[in-house]
Every structure is written in C-alpha cells, then in structure tokens.
A and B are shown apart, each in its own frame.
Chain A
Amino acid sequence: MTPVNEAELAEAVAAAKGPLAVRGGGTRPIGRPVVGEPLSVAELSGIELYEPGALTIVVKAGTPLAEIEAALAAENQRLAFEPIDHRGLLGTTGEPTIGGVVAANVSGPRRIQVGAARDHLLGVRFVDGTGTIIKNGGRVMKNVTGYDLVKLMAGSFGTLGVLSEVSLKVLPKTDVIASLRIQGLTDAGAVRAMSQALGSPFEVSGAAHISGEAGQGAITLIRVEGFEASVAYRLAQLTELLVGAEGEITHLTDPAKVRTLWRGVRDVEPLHDHAGDIWRLSVKPSDAPGIVSRMPDGTRVVYDWGGGLIWAATAPGTDLRAEIGPYHGHATLIRASEATRAALPVFQPEPVRLAAISQGLRQKFDPRGILNQGLMG
C-alpha cells in the first residue's frame, strides 16, 4: 500500500486486516524480521513549512532527507544532529527519508554536542494502530503542553504509530571546520584524550577513535566548527591541552577533506568491508575500553561520542551481550542475518517492569498489534 496523504494513510491502517510492515526509504532495515503487508509512506512527501528565522522546518514523513538538507543548505542551515546514512553499513539502496531518521532516532558524531534526533524533534503527526490521526508537540522550540509523546515516537521504529509529518529544529551551518588527528593511541588513551577535549571550553563537535591493534594504525579525531578565527584558536588550545598525551598530533584544515573524513566517521566507513555482524553500544565513555576488551578476539571497533558509542564488527551469530557480561548501557544488533536477528534480541532486553510498560504502551497505541509487529522484540 502506498497512500499519498495522511487521510489515505489513516484509512489504510484502519482497513488493514493483518500485520503491516511500515517503511520509508527502506534504507534502515533494523530490528527483528517483520512479516506483514508493506505500507510505504514514501509518497507522503514534501516540505510543508520552512522558517529560517525561527529555526524550524515542518515536513511530511516520506520526504527524502536529501531534499530537506538541500533546502536547509540554501539558507545556510542544517539538521545539526548529523543523521548517519546507513546505506554503506547495511548494504541497502534507496533514498533515506526523514520519517526513517526520526523512527530510528539516528544521530551522528555531533550528537555529543547538540543532542540526538529526539532532541531536535519538535512535533509529530502519526496514525495509530487503529487508524486514528494523532498529533503531539508542535513547531515551536519550547513546548511543555501535555505529555511529550514526541520523544516516545522518536526511536519507536513504527511500532507505536506511522509517522505522517514531523517538525524539526534546525541550526545555522558553520563556516569553517577543522580537525585534530592523533595517531597511535590505545583505546584507553584515546578515551582519556577525548574526555579532556570534551571537558574543555573549546566546543568540540565530534570526538571519535578508530581502534588499532595495541594502538598500531589507530586514529583519534577531534572536530571543531565555527567562525574562522574561532576555529583556529580552539584548534591551537586543544593541541596545547593534549600535547601531554602520547601520540602524534596533526591539524587537518582542508574543509573538503575534513568533511569527508567525518562523513566516514558518521557512516562508520571503517567497518563497511566487514562481512559479519555489526553491533552498536551506548555506554559511559570511560567504561568503553573495558567493555571492548571483553569482546571476542578479532572484533573490530570504532568509537564515537568521545567513547560513549561503540560500533563493533563481530563474527556472524555472535551474542555480543553474553560475551561482554554485565555492563551499563545498551547494545543493538544493527546488522545480521535474518536468522541471527530472529534468534538474538536485536534491542537491549529491558528489566521485567520496564518491558511490561513498553509492552503496555504498544498495546494502547496499537491494540491489534499490527504495526511492525515484534520489530523491537
């Protein structure tokens, strides 16, 4: 089914006789395998309202991300949370849509500075599992009117409702971008250096580490953005702050190269060639090296968010949670065969009471259990 507007979308859901598999651009097939009649929102497309002076944009859920980014760039603005493009990592094709960005709450390296997709989402319109149209939030930056279902919808992977329209906060694009590169740090050394940088007043907008064997070939990257003089100043200050750390520091200032480099971090390029499974862990940064050390030999990792985000490439079928034992945070199996995704929980299992609350919410929003049934476990 391919409804072309919200009313048709509502009708399609109301009339559904069985499970539905909701999709936007189909570039982020994350979650447990879903059976059901395909329901595409790709035809609900277009920018409804864009007010650069109010830093807000309202778009239909199927709008291609590229179209939104182009419209924003024309006004020198952007989606500051830097959504990752999953196509390289997941081997998918097609056009990422804004609905998918929101439903999967995807963010990139700048999440550490400006927040996640959920922090930039101002309002939603969606169709619940009975075909009822519901709105929450709005298109203004401060809004505490009623419960914040906007946050609940972000990252709900279409299991609570089918998004039809979203409004987002946008931010000015920065003039200049530059990066520090430190070579040869161990994972623990890199997390320490990144913590120092992020704990400085120099407004770091990205801190990532591509792990090597005992530091061999390892690269740590720290990004600053802003006005020209300010970027130069902060780069110098950060260098001074970090010279004490082992590892060789270089400045990368060619904007095109720095952008490409960080796009690579955002999209986890170092792991694209990996043939096995991909996991994504969110942890307390200083816990990260210890957690990684408990992963099976041969696991390749990339750290983002100053160490708080770990991308891990493992052998197919590895139950990574079992391997690393108890830890604080959450792990998601981002890429694996259908069989593995059916056998292992894709999303972090919740304690009993919270699982009951999540299940209770799904039951309320989708009483027939037809929306992406079982996707989140």
Chain B
Amino acid sequence: MQMPTPNAAVLSKKARIVERLQSVLPEDAVIHDPTETRAYECDALTAYKCPPLAAVLPASTEEVAAVLKICHEEGVPVVPRGSGTSLAGGALPTADSVILGVARLNAVLETDYDNRFIRVQTGRTNLSVTGAVEENDFFYAPDPSSQLACAIAGNIGMNSGGAHCLKYGVTTNNLLGVTMVLMDGTVVELGGAHLDAGGLDLLGVVCGSEGQLGVVTEATLRILRKPEGARPVLMGFDSNEVAGACVSDIIKAGVLPVAIEFMDRPCIEASEAFAHAGYPLCEALLIVEVEGSPAEIDEQLGLILQIARNHNPVELRESKSPEESAKIWLGRKSAFGAMGQINDYMCLDGTIPVSSLPLVLRRIGEMSKEYGLDVANVFHAGDGNMHPLILFDANKPGDLERCEALGADILKLCVEVGGCLTGEHGVGIEKRDLMTSQFTAEDIEAQLWVKDVFDPAWLLNPAKVFPLGATESRRAA
C-alpha cells in the first residue's frame, strides 16, 4: 500500500512541534519518544504500520482546539483516533503526522430520558453509552461487534453499523448533533437535541467522513427504550440460494426482524469447531431475531417459521428460553474469533442488493478456488452487507498480496451487481485505490470539494479515502 512521502520540513521541526504541543497540554498528554509512539503505529488493519511523529491525548474540546491550531500553523497533518479498531486503516498514521487520540474524552455530559438522548464525549466506548442508560431500560442502537472497544468518535468517523441496523439504522440515523473542532481550531456545533438540519445537512456529511473534515469531541445520540423481549430462530438450508430466497421472502412478507444473520458452510464449520454451539453442519444457516412482547414475538416467529418451512430447511430451531437464545447466537458471535484461531484473515465489507446474494456467493466460491484461498462468509443478510473472510497465512511470502487481489476482485463484483465497496467499515487506505471502480472522476471530485471547504489546507487525515493521485495536487498545495 502506497503512502505519501513524509514531509521533510515537518520531520525536521519535530522538536519545535512537540514543544509547542507541550505548551498547551499536560506533560503526559504528549507522546513523542519513538518507543512510545509505536503504540499508535496501526489500527486493526495490522498489515500496515507506521509510527507517527507524535501522539497527543487532549482531555477537553479546548485542548483539542489548541492542538489543531498549532498543527495548522505548523502545517502538520493530523490523524484523529478513537480506539484504533478500524479495519480499513482509517487511523493509520504517516511519519509526519500527529495522532490526536480522544480516549481521555470519555465523560457522559447529559442524559435526558424525556427527550430520549444522551450527550457524551466521543472517546467513550460504544458499549458504555448503552451502559450509562441501561439501568433505566434504554439503549443506544448501533452495535458494531467491536462495541466493547470502539469509541463513538470512530463510529461517527466511519458511520458504523451493527447487527441490529435493519430495524434501527446505522450511526448517522442515530446521531443528533456534534461538537466539532475544525483544522484551524474553530469549534462548531452541528445539530443538537432537536431533529434534522435547519439548512444544509452538514452533520449528515460529517458522519462517515473518516476524520477528514473535523475532530468530533462531543456527540448527542438518540437513545431508545429497550423492547420487552427478543427471540431468535435458527434455520439451516442445503444451499446458499435457498437461504437467500428465504431472506427475501421474509422481508417481502412484511415482518421486519431486528437481525437476519447468514453463515455459510466454511464459517459454520470453523465456529462449530471453536464454540460448539451445536449448529447443523449444512450449506447455509440463518439466524433471524424479532422483538416485542411475548405475544408479538410468537406471532412474528410463527410467520417466519412458516416461510422457512416452505423452503425445506434441514434444521429449524426456535428458542424457548434465554439460554437457548444465547446458544443460537453463540456460534455467530464467535465466528470472527474462530477464524482468527485457525488463520490470518482479511475481513471484507462490501454491500450487495439482497437479490444478488446467490449469484455473488457462487462467484466468490469460484474466485476462492481460482486464487487457492479459502473464503468464509458471515454477514448481515437483511441489508446485503457481506463480510467475506479471506483466510491466508501472513508468514507465507506472497499470501497477503494474493489475499488483497482476491479481496479487490470480490469488492469489484459487489459494485458490478449494483452494490458498493464498503457497508460499514469505511474506505481508509484499504479500499482507497478501488474508489475508481465505483465512482467516476466527477463523483470523486464532488467529494473532494467538501474537504476543500472544511479543511482547505488538507491536513486532516489527508492520505485516506481517495486515490492518492486524485488528491496529490491538493495535499501538496
């Protein structure tokens, strides 16, 4: 993966930059010793590493503003960082950049049940947002699998999703407002406790902008009352096609499950070996979960089971107790861990129209053979967000490159059938160079205009999202 040549002028004035940062932050909030900056050399896309010039850990919006003002004056690129769990290299530093970590900004500022929102500092982890309102039976809906670790900051940066977004939407649908610091240190407020924008929807374009438009320090998030209950069913089929048709029929029937998760045979086998959830060893498995009162759940599940039976399932398992529900979810929740046990893997994230599911799974199977690399599929089927896991051996020369080439082919296939490169993980550096397979030069240019306006000096996370060639003249300016 190509990264821009570090700016020699910036590298040569490291001492001065560090000194200036130290003048506005407590001593322990400026990390510049090369042995310590290593802690920030990568995110969860661990194949790529580069220690930053320095890392700073401000503890207030004012400190963030002071840091950005200095970096702006010195012409230093800044890479905002939440918890560093990005799978796309979104938080990967360059050697001439300052990592701005928001981990110390983790307070709950306001909880308001009457108006159904919570205001938090963005370094707070996703799960601990729900944790703060749980005792009153409320929750924050977007639930990425990484929710124990990832921060609201990164969720906003990537517009993250989760297993329950079929019903509740992704981050952007649950974000009411932010406090954000622009690259020159100006603090702005977008949105608030009210709904929708009074002018252009700037909040809408900031969400998912991968740390390139501003540093988000506070967020107002919609919270919801927990449903009375939830219950899953598990169904096994002897082909991916049939499972795909079943998903489509469920959706068409007018039930809106909170989650429809799909696993294929390689994934079922791996997670069985690891978690022993008692899954049937079949070609395709669906977990469908519905919510509501006990009677509502019965009614919806009745309809779903009837649809499933029309597709001759090899297994149909309805949960009757919380223990059984947990068991049904166990294998799905351990899928990534199970894969990690047997192999190195790369997790793709393309989205496809649900109608193309059987075709895409078949083509992935063929490509997997051509490349000689196994691919396991586990994904959110209701919304078409695929997660093909390509298994490879990082110690084997050439395997990573082959894996990346296969990944690129799979993502191009997603675009070809009417989908997109990334449904929830973001572009980062990982899919930067594939952007031209989905967008024309004009489509990309229009996106660059937005960055031109928010960050005219092009200093915020500048080497991400867009092909380097498309941004070179701007970054150099």
Contacts and interface: CB of A to CB of B under 8 A. Distances in A.
Contact of A199 (B225, B423, B427): B225
A192 B454 CA distance: 40
Given A54-B355, A140-B419, A199-B225, A148 B207 contact: yes
A144 B204 contact: no
Given A136-B443, A229-B299, A357-B454, A142 B385 contact: yes
A53 B355 contact: yes
B277 interface: no
Highest count of chain A CB atoms <10 Å: which of B113, B296, B451: B296
A358 B203 CA distance: 12
Given A142-B161, A146-B444, A284-B193, A229 B450 contact: no
B354 A54 contact: yes
Interface string B405-438: 0000000000000111111111100010001001
Given A115-B169, A201-B225, A144 B299 contact: no
Interface string A253-293: 00000000000000000000000000000111110000000
Given A54-B248, A134-B443, A282-B194, A142 B351 contact: yes
A198 B225 CA distance: 8
Contacts of B200: 152, 155-156, 160, 358, 361, 376
A228 to B, nearest CB: 9
Contacts of A152: 200-202, 204-205, 450
Highest count of chain A CB atoms <10 Å: which of B112, B255, B384, B427: B384
B423 A155 contact: no
Given A230-B293, A353-B188, A354-B202, A147 B256 contact: no
Contacts of A229: 295-296, 299
A323 interface: no
Interface stretch (A312-320, A334-342, A343-351): A343-351
B228 interface: yes
B205 A151 contact: yes
A365 B256 CA distance: 38
B420 A145 contact: yes
A360 interface: yes
B226 interface: yes
B199 interface: yes
Nearest to A121: B204
Contacts of B182: 353
B195 to A, nearest CB: 5
A370 B205 CA distance: 23
B447 A146 contact: yes
Interface in A99-151: 105, 107, 111-112, 115-116, 118-119, 128, 132-136, 138-151
B251 A134 contact: no
Contacts of B195: 111-112, 116, 282, 305, 308-309
Nearest to B88: A144
Interface string B147-169: 00000000000110100011001
A119 B173 contact: yes
Interface residues of B, number: 94
Contacts of A147: 205, 208-209, 447, 450-451, 465
B204 A230 contact: no
B159 A144 contact: yes
Contact of A155 (B196, B209, B248, B438): B196
Highest count of chain B CB atoms <10 Å: which of A175, A201, A233, A234: A201
Given A143-B420, A145-B421, A199-B114, A115 B173 contact: yes
Given A105-B196, A140-B383, A286-B112, 12 more contacts: A138-B420, A146-B465, A150-B204, A151-B201, A200-B225, A229-B296, A282-B194, A282-B196, A308-B115, A328-B193, A353-B188, A377-B199
27 contacts: A118-B201, A140-B351, A140-B384, A140-B419, A142-B170, A142-B380, A142-B424, A144-B422, A145-B435, A148-B207, A149-B447, A152-B204, A152-B450, A172-B251, A172-B255, A172-B256, A173-B254, A198-B116, A229-B296, A233-B295, A234-B293, A284-B194, A285-B115, A328-B192, A353-B182, A357-B202, A361-B453
Interface of A: 51-56, 75-76, 105, 107, 111-112, 115-116, 118-119, 128, 132-136, 138-152, 154-156, 160, 171-175, 192, 195, 198-201, 203, 226-227, 229-230, 233-234, 282-286, 305, 308-309, 328-332, 347-348, 350-351, 353-354, 357-358, 360-361, 364-365, 376-377
